[in-house]
């Protein structure tokens, strides 16, 4: 059986993706489930996180967002039975690639998939949906009437964050990194209150947000990375400068960042203090860090699947690719040439 793995180099740039033969254990643990994989989503691999948590291996499994059919269950499994359709996220320390024909996973990492949902739709939305819930509910405590700014709103994560916020009565602003992204966001329904085309040098992010909120600033900001200095490489030129985010944040606001290396200078901290604003780091992997969080983790995934089935969440997905294209596709995802790829098992 074949799976996709990352062959780790001395630096992240030297990482290579390879199709590798692998074996599935024949015996199941008490609470384990064997799943026949029907579709798998490819998202960027955080090798630094693996290193920090001492999970570093010569071959790191790739493809953790899976959907499939239960083939066999362990003796103490209570949530599932054979032939159930399920969706879940393989744990960070898994030894198996989600692109294998079958995987073994603990039942506490799976939820039921409604029959009417397509395989690729659920696989493509489960992790970004989890990130959106973590950012908006757990960290930002969003409430009806809030104003939210989603940076890079056309990304798979950004789209689900926008839709989730709309379903809770939140006014949404979004930035677009290209003219194509801007056109896409302007056609999105429910509509975004304002699309800010940061790709256009004439458009100022701070001025646009303050104008839209009558000078009060936004209640919640979710970024997709931050420029730590005024001058940075061209690849990061469309990211907002950290001081700009603090400026457009309203009193009592919440800034949820994906920037792992964020550093705030004393004047930045002072500005946050004067606004009584908060800063949170978005890392959806924390749900697997403690067994005390399993119940809430499963509740979130069940709610994501329910909102997908009712059409509240509608992921924007590209056409899936077969397994033999997975290596090239994952290289493109890791280099940020594409945002996400879906692989189907033929």
pLDDT along the chain (346 residues), means of 10: 82 77 84 96 90 80 95 94 96 91 94 94 96 97 97 96 97 96 94 95 95 97 87 71 95 96 93 97 89 89 96 91 91 89 84
CATH number at residue 109: 3.90.180.10
Tell me 191's DSSP state: P
What pLDDT is recorded for position 234? 57
Residues 227 and 312 in one domain: no
Look up the CATH number of the domain holding residue 157: 3.40.50.720
Res 32: pLDDT: 94
Model-wide pTM > 0.85 = yes
Residues 6 or more apart in contact with residue 94 via CB below 8 angstroms? 61, 64, 105
At 257 the three-state DSSP class reads strand
Question: With the CA atoms of 4, 8, 13 and 18 taken in that order, what torsion angle do they form, in degrees rounded to the nearest 10?
Answer: -30
Whether residue 103 sits in one domain with residue 151: no
pLDDT value for 12:
57
Do 265 and 339 lie in one domain? The reply is no
Q: Find the domain containing 21 and state its range.
A: 2-124+308-345
Number of domains in the chain: 2
> Do 89 and 29 fall within a single domain?
yes
Spatial CA neighbour of 255 closest among 268, 266, 236: 268
């Amino acid at each position: 059986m074949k799976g996709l793995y990352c062959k780790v180099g001395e630096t992240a740039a030297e990482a290579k993706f390879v199709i590798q033969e692998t074996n599935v254990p024949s015996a199941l643990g008490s609470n384990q489930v064997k799943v026949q994989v029907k579709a798998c989503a490819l998202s960027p691999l955080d090798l630094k996180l693996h290193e920090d948590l001492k999970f570093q291996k010569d071959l790191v499994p790739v493809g953790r967002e899976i959907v499939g059919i239960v083939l066999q269950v362990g003796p103490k499994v209570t949530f599932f039975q054979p032939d159930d359709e399920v969706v879940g996220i393989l744990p960070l320390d898994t030894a198996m690639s989600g692109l294998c024909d079958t995987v073994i996973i603990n039942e506490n990492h799976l939820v039921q998939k409604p029959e009417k949902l397509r395989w690729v739709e659920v696989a493509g939305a489960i992790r970004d949906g989890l990130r959106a819930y973590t950012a908006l509910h757990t960290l930002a405590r969003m409430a009806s009437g809030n104003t939210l700014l989603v940076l890079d709103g056309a990304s798979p994560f950004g789209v689900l964050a926008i839709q989730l916020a709309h379903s809770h009565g939140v006014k949404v602003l979004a930035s677009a990194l290209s003219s194509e992204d801007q056109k896409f966001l302007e056609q999105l329904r429910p509509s975004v209150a304002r699309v800010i085309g940061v790709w256009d040098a004439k458009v100022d992010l701070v001025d646009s947000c303050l104008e839209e909120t009558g000078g009060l600033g936004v209640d919640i900001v979710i970024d997709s990375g931050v420029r730590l200095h005024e001058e940075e490489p061209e690849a990061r030129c469309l990211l907002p400068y950290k001081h700009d985010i603090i400026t457009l944040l309203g009193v009592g606001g919440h800034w949820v960042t994906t920037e792992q290396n964020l550093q705030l200078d004393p004047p930045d901290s002072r500005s946050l203090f004067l606004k009584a604003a908060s800063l949170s780091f978005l890392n959806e992997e924390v749900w697997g860090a403690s067994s005390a969080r399993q119940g809430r983790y499963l509740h979130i995934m069940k709610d994501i699947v329910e909102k997908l089935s009712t059409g509240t969440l509608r992921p924007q997905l590209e056409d899936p690719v077969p397994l033999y294209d997975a290596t090239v596709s994952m290289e493109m995802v890791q280099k940020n040439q594409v945002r996400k790829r879906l692989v189907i098992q033929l």
